[in-house]
Structure 1
Amino acid sequence: MVGHPDGSNRAFFSNQQGKIWLATIPSQGSGGVLELDEATPFLDLTDEVHFDSEFGLLGIAFHPKFTENGRFFASFNCDKAKWPACAGRCTCNSDVKCDPSKLNPENGANPCQFQSVIAEFTANGTASQPSLANPLEVRRIFTMGLPFTSHHAGQILFGPEDGHLYFMMGDGGGARGDPFNFAQNLMLIP
């Protein structure tokens, strides 16, 4: 859940499968109920999102000037075996002395088959009164694969002081407990 940037009583709710809804929250003590039209999501990315226990739509963040420009961002996982456009650099690479070709498949997936994505989208309607989002990405900000099928994360947010977009990515360490020390390596993003 992310509160609407306009400060109203509306909020965006997402599920791990890849849908985002815009809902109206009743005033405290009013006895009203949350108004959410499940049949009409604000954005539906279920065709692109790989959903499993530690995968899915993991975060949404709204540009600091969303009410003026309608820009927002989604963080999700995709499967490059099913969606070829979902391909980025593997965190397991020569820079960190890791060779993905020497890693065994895990849970039926090849190393870096599942990618972490941050994509930019825009809202239709007016920026202050969005109705639905345009389902086509404006641009792909980031795509990177983690070598194992667990320890994925994806919270994104804008820094309140600097306005930069921050991404919390899991270490992808799997059951072996981060054997390549990805969680401590700040140089993973090229």
Structure 2
Amino acid sequence: MNFDTTTTERLAPNGTTRRRFLRTAAAVGALAGVGGLAGAQSEPETFSFGGEVGGWIGRSPNSIADETNPPLRLEAGTTYVFEWENTDGQPHNVAFLDDDDNSIERSEIISEQGATQSYEFTATEEMAAYICDVHPVSMRGEILFGDETATPENTNAEPYVPKGASVRLETVADGGLVAPLDFETPPGGSAMYIVDRFGQVYLRDSDGLRDEPFIDVSDRIVEITGEMGLLGMAFHPEYEENNTFYLRYSAPIREGTPEEFDHTEVLAEFTANDDGTSADPDSERTIMEIPSPYDTHNSGAIVFGPEDGYLYMGMGDGGGAHDTDLGHVSDWYEANEGGNGQNVSENLLGGIHRIDVDSQEGEKAYGIPDDNPLVEGAGLDEYYAWGLRNPWRMGFSNGDLYASDVGQNMFEEIDLIEKGTNYGWNVREGTHCFSPGPEGSRNPPESCPTHTPE
């Protein structure tokens, strides 16, 4: 399964509509194809670029000078040199793709600012694009043969992230809260329900913030340290009929959690009164319990899908000082110790899960959607996406699910969450390679896999 491989016909940042807009190229490995390092032929035609995350900036010949990601017109069977300078100190290479975005050949990744690389290749008619493997969206240009013309800029195409409403700030509540971290509005309602990390949910209606909590579950929460507490809330899509809502909170160790672990993360269902002004804590029905080895990386976000009605829940990788110790299981990537996020068979840490709260399957208090990606496959059925460090918040926009994944030291992510997608942690952090530990996390390795083994 490839990291972050998706297909779309939306508009890429340079205005060109492309297949597989977010697709990452295939495995990084030895140089393939008929090309090699420059020097196999004297004085082949050279294309010179500056390479940066924003794109390939043409330098020479004059036909590409000062152009970003210019199309390259080649002649099949002719040898060329792709010469470039790393201008921003980020990891880059050059790779050549076919029409289906399969890699034909590639150079090694270099990360040193000011370093140069010359890559000699022989053009073949199957070549359709040149990219940087690490930044395949922003660093991508077309390859043309014969009378082919460059794809015209499509100014009418839908941008990948549609333009949203303008942003303004409005004070929702002033005073009376200790650590507010979320608020929800129920289906068909206008009142706001504000989640306080210390265990309370407060109702804010047309009269303002009520003094007494809508619900108080502080007596069920473990002593709060790190990132624990009452972490998320979601209303059932049919809340107007069933008065049902859900909370995510950190509880003391429960049955099934190893005694050396820190606590248990809980997803629970509650029922509100008819006018939605209060809820009884004793109406609780436990839906899920997930053992958590540390007091960090608990995630907490829960949302319902606007189209399928299923509940989506984020879960962090278990935490710990360097994401490698207690509770972190081994996985396929031996270079990095610990594997929550890559090992989807041993636990539910490091991913986003999708469940059906309106059904039950066996001894579970919930059902599994038939089309979850690992159903009848190698992994736990609850997984919807994985390879995440700590998906702290998420939400739907125009039917798409976005999540904010909290980074280690250098990088933060906003991810478009798609079913069955591996987002790379802890092999990669965003588009960057990752190595555990204080030194490795601040000085990422130059190369690492872009896909999991077959």
The two structures have a TM-score, normalised by structure 1, of 0.73
Selected match of 2:252 from 79, 85, 90: 79
CA distance in 2, matches of 1:168, 1:151: 10
Structure 2 distance, partners of 1:2, 1:185, is 33
* One-letter identity of the residue aligned with 1:41: P
Distance across 1 between alignment mates of 2:313 and 2:229:
15
Task: Please say if residues 266 and 290 of structure 2, whose CA atoms lie closer than 8 Å, have aligned partners that are also in contact.
Answer: yes
2 CA distance for matches of 1:112 and 1:55?
A: 14
Partner letter of residue 144 of structure 1? Answer: I
The superposition leaves residues 14-33 of structure 1 with CA deviations (integer Å, 9 ceiling, x where unpaired) of 111100011125xxxxxxxx
Q: Which of 1 and 2 has greater Rg?
A: 2
Partner of 1:140 in structure 2? 286
Which runs of no fewer than 5 residues in structure 2 stay unpaired? 1-182, 330-338, 349-379, 381-454
In 2, distance between residues paired with 1:61 and 1:186? 25
Q: Deviation of residue 7 (structure 1)?
A: 3.4
Q: Which residue of 2 aligns with 1:53?
A: 226
Percent identity of paired positions between Structure 1 and Structure 2:
36
Quickly say closer, same or farther: Cα 1:64–1:88, change in 2 above 3 A.
Answer: farther
Alpha-carbon distance in 2 for matches of 1:141, 1:88:
14
Higher RCO structure, 1 or 2 (CA under 8 Å, sep 6+): 1
1:1-190 aligned within 5 A? 1-8=183-190, 10-24=191-205, 35-38=208-211, 40-50=212-222, 51-80=224-253, 86-89=254-257, 111-124=260-273, 126=274, 129-178=275-324, 179-180=328-329, 181-187=339-345, 188-189=347-348
The residue type paired with residue 117 of structure 1 is V
Deviations 1:118-143 (A, max 9, x none): 0100001x1xx212101114311011
Count of residues paired in the alignment? 153
- C-alpha spacing 1:141/1:117, structure 2 compared with 1 (3 Å): same
CA contact (8 A) 2:225 2:295 kept: no
1:64-114 CA-partner distances (Å, limit 9, x unpaired): 00011000010000112xxxxx33445xxxxxxxxxxxxxxxxxxx63231
The code of the aligned residue for 1:184 comes to: Q
- Write out per-residue CA displacement over residues 142-176 of structure 1, whole angstroms, 9 at most, x where no aligned residue: 11112223222111111111111111011113112
Check whether the contact 1:58–1:76 (CA below 8 A) recurs between aligned residues.
yes
Amino acid at match of 2:265: S
TM-score when normalising by structure 2: 0.32
How far residue 4 of structure 1 moved from its aligned partner, in angstroms, is 2.6
- 8 Å contact kept, 1:119–1:139: yes
Shift of 1:12: 0.4
Please give the secondary structure, in 2, of the residue aligned with 1:131: coil
For residues 186 and 134 of structure 1, the distance between their equivalents in structure 2, rounded to whole angstroms, comes to 36
SS at match of 2:260: coil
Residues 75 and 119, structure 1, Cα contact 8 Å, conserved in 2: yes
The structure with the largest helix share of the pair is 1
Contact 1:87 1:143 in 2 (8 A): no
The Cα RMSD (Å) is 1.9
Flag structure 1 segments of 5+ consecutive residues without an equivalent: 26-33, 81-85, 91-109
Q: In 2 relative to 1, CA 186–6 (structure 1 residues): closer, same or farther, beyond 3 Å?
A: farther
